[in-house]
Every structure is written in C-alpha cells, then in structure tokens.
C-alpha cells in the first residue's frame, strides 16, 4: 500500500494495481460465462477488478458496492463504457441483500470481496489512514458518516482503548499505549495523526524499535473500530453466500489475519456436512452448501509480491455453491 499522496491527475488505473487479479478471474470465471450472469463486487474501490471482469465476460452484469462515495464516483468514470451493464450502489457490503433486493436480483453468480483500506484512501492524506503523514484523525471509509478516530481517542475509556488495540491490532503494548493516550488527552485534545504517532513513539520501549513502525497496529485497530470492519464482515459473508445461485462462486481477498479468520470460519462451516455423528445415511438437507476451491489460504506468488508490494500480506479463499437452502 502506498503512503504518499497520489497526484490528482492520475487515473484510477494509475493509482491502484489490483491484487491477485488473474487468479480471481480464473476462480470466478467458470460461473460467469453464461448469458445474464451477475457478479457482485462488494468492495468496488477504484474498479480494477470489476473492469477486468467486464472486459473478460461481454454479457456479464456487474453490481458494484462501496461505502466510499468518492470511490464510487471514480470507479463510475473508469467503468463508464460499460454503463448499460453496471449498477453501482452506495452502501456497506453487509447491506448486500438490501442492495440486490432493490435491484430486483434474486440470485447472483459471483461475489468478490477485496477487504481492507484501499490504496486511494491511503493516498488521500486528509483521510487520516496513514501514520506516516500528519492529518486529522478521521479514518472514515465513508466520509458521510459521523464517527471518527478522533472521537475514539477523545471519548473511549482506557479499558476500551486497551481492548481495541489488543483485539483489533493484536498490539502487545496495548496497556501502555492506552494509558499514555489518556494521559496525553488530559493535557489537551489529540486530534491529529502526527500527535498520536508522537505519543505512541514516546511510549515505545527501545527494545521494540526494530519491530516495524510502532503506530501500525494502533492505526489498524482505530480504523477497524471506526468502520466496524470485522462485525460488518461477519454479517456480510452469510448474506453473500445466501445470495449465490447453485454453481455460483465467491472469492475473498483478506489482508490481515483477523479478517482471514472470519472468512475461513464461515467458508469451512458451510463446506462440511451438518449430519449428526453416527447417522448411517447423509440426508440431502445435511449435505454441505459449499465446495472449497483452494487449499487453505492462497498467497500471491513471488513475482506479484515484487511487482506490487500490496500483495505481500494477501490471503485468498474461494468456494463454490453446491447446494441451496430454501
């Protein structure tokens, strides 16, 4: 992911290189070739994945979801030539069922999730996602929402700060950072990312100085809390799988372990029989709903990781719908 501000004259294609694009096409492709097929890109972003799918499948209809109005605008410009085959919806992806109902779509053939903060959001310094640039503590993926990282820093108790740093950032120094932030805000408001980084750096023991930027996990935790990312994902995955037609496929790209655990749990749960132990015959209603398409979590190959550093942490999981529950 890029931390420097991107020049405003760059096109969406210049601003972002889609991760595991060819592999996503390969995995979702078998479900998308038939006439009238529908793909839901639950994290449209700048439209890189969607553009590739629309080019590869001339009869495909795309539903693109994103909570960021700016992303929808830029993706809409990028996908303008496919206007008759796309519907772009401003919503959080756990509203996938409502979005499809609003479009009169009963079932879909493919679903793609490309999780986490987008390169565009990191590039726009004023959004406050990056710990390497001083900016307002915002971190909203949807800048029409009200809840910001500054509010968390100003209002959460020390115990709640400790909890989110530990649970969402997997931060070993969660106790120390929470305490120091509360001490600092008692002396004056902490409303900018640079100020927060200074607090964290001052609180970090020297022995941790070679373990990456000390603010990385705290910023991740704040971003997840501001945008309710994990609870949204937990709600969205079952709805997405339910929306798939039999033979439809889902691909999920996760960039941190907390997301990947949620994806792994949901896909594996639906890929096993629900028959009681010892039952001599597996009844149809107990058969698995999904067939897993990759073993474990698939990584980007070395060539892609070198070409696109954003691909380094990605974990891909995929499944095919083999049974529908009425």
Mean pLDDT of 197-207: 95
Q: Reduce the DSSP state of residue 162 to 3 states and report it.
A: helix
| Look-up of token digits 């709805």 | 239
Cβ(191)–Cβ(150) below 8 Å: yes
Gap between the Cα atoms of 33 and 36, Å rounded: 9
pLDDT of residue 290: 97
pLDDT of residue 208: 86
CA dihedral 11, 13, 17, 22 (to 10 degrees): 180
Percent of the chain exceeding pLDDT 90 equals 79
Annotated binding site, which residues?
Answer: 47-49, 66, 93, 114, 121
| pLDDT reading at 78 higher than 60 | yes
If one compares 95 and 310, the residue with the highest pLDDT of the two is 95
The band of 268, judged by pLDDT with boundaries at 50, 70 and 90, is very high
Q: What are residue 299's phi and psi, to 5 degrees?
A: -105, 160
Gap between the Cα atoms of 154 and 226, Å rounded: 13
| pLDDT reading at 134 higher than 60 | yes
Alpha helix ranges (H) inside the chain: 12-15, 21-28, 48-56, 69-78, 96-102, 119-123, 149-155, 158-169, 174-187, 193-203, 216-227, 229-243, 257-270, 302-307
Gap between the Cα atoms of 289 and 273, Å rounded: 8
pLDDT of residue 305: 93
pLDDT of residue 98: 98
The band of 278, judged by pLDDT with boundaries at 50, 70 and 90, is low
pLDDT of residue 307: 93
pLDDT of residue 211: 79
Gap between the Cα atoms of 256 and 240, Å rounded: 20
Percent of the chain exceeding pLDDT 70 equals 90
pLDDT of residue 3: 34
Mean pLDDT of 101-122: 90
Mean pLDDT of 138-161: 95
Would you state the structure tokens that stand for residue 293, as one six-digit string? 């398409």
Of the listed ranges 21-30, 78-87, 279-288, 304-313, the one predicted with least confidence: 279-288
Of the listed ranges 93-97, 197-201, 280-284, the one predicted with least confidence: 280-284
| pLDDT reading at 234 higher than 90 | yes
The overall pTM is greater than 0.85: yes
| Domain ranges, ordered by start, for the chain | 12-120+229-321, 130-227
pLDDT of residue 202: 96
Annotated binding site for S-adenosyl-L-methionine, which residues?
Answer: 47-49, 66, 93, 114, 121
Mean of per-residue pLDDT scores for the chain: 91
pLDDT of residue 284: 67
Assigned architecture for domain 12-120+229-321: 3-Layer(aba) Sandwich (3.40)
Instruction: Identify which of 123, 120, 125 has the alpha carbon closest to the alpha carbon of residue 136.
Output: 125
The band of 326, judged by pLDDT with boundaries at 50, 70 and 90, is low
Distances (CA, A) of 32 to 35, 40, 82, 130, 326: 8, 11, 16, 37, 23
pLDDT of residue 237: 98
pLDDT of residue 11: 54
pLDDT of residue 14: 54
**Superfamily of structural domain 130-227:** Putative methyltransferase TM0872, insert domain (1.10.150.170)
| pLDDT reading at 231 higher than 80 | yes
Express each pLDDT in 1-42 by its tens digit. 333 333 445 555 555 578 999 999 999 999 999 889 999 999
Mean pLDDT of 106-121: 88
């Amino acid at each position: 992911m890029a931390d420097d501000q991107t020049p405003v004259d760059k096109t969406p294609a210049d601003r972002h290189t889609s991760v595991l694009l060819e592999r996503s096409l390969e995995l979702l492709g078998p479900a998308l070739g038939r006439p009238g097929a529908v793909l839901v890109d639950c994290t449209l972003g700048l439209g890189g994945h969607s553009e590739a799918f629309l080019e590869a499948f001339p009869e495909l209809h795309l539903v693109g979801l994103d909570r960021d109005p700016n992303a929808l605008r830029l993706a809409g410009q990028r996908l303008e030539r496919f206007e008759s085959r796309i519907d772009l919806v401003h919503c959080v992806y756990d509203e996938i069922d409502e979005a499809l109902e609003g479009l009169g779509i009963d079932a879909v053939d493919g679903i793609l999730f490309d999780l986490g903060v987008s390169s565009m959001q990191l590039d726009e310094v004023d959004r406050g996602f990056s710990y390497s640039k001083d900016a307002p503590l915002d971190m909203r993926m949807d800048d029409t929402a009200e809840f910001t990282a500054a509010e968390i820093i100003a209002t959460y108790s020390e115990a709640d700060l400790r909890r989110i740093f530990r649970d969402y950032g997997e931060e070993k120094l969660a106790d120390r950072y929470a305490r120091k932030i509360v001490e600092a805000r008692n002396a004056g408001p902490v409303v900018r990312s640079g100020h927060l980084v200074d607090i964290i750096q001052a609180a970090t023991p020297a022995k941790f100085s070679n373990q990456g930027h000390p603010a990385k996990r705290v910023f991740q935790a704040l971003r997840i809390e501001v945008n309710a990312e994990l609870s949204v994902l937990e709600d969205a995955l079952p709805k997405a799988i339910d929306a798939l037609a039999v033979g439809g496929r889902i691909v999920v790209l996760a960039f941190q372990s907390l997301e990947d655990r949620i994806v792994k749990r949901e896909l594996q749960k639906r890929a096993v029989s629900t028959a009681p132990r010892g039952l001599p015959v597996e009844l149809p209603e107990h058969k698995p709903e999904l067939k897993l398409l990759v073993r474990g979590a698939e990584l980007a190959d070395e060539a892609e990781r070198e070409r696109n550093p954003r691909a380094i942490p990605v974990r891909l999981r995929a499944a095919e719908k083999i049974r529908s529950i009425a």
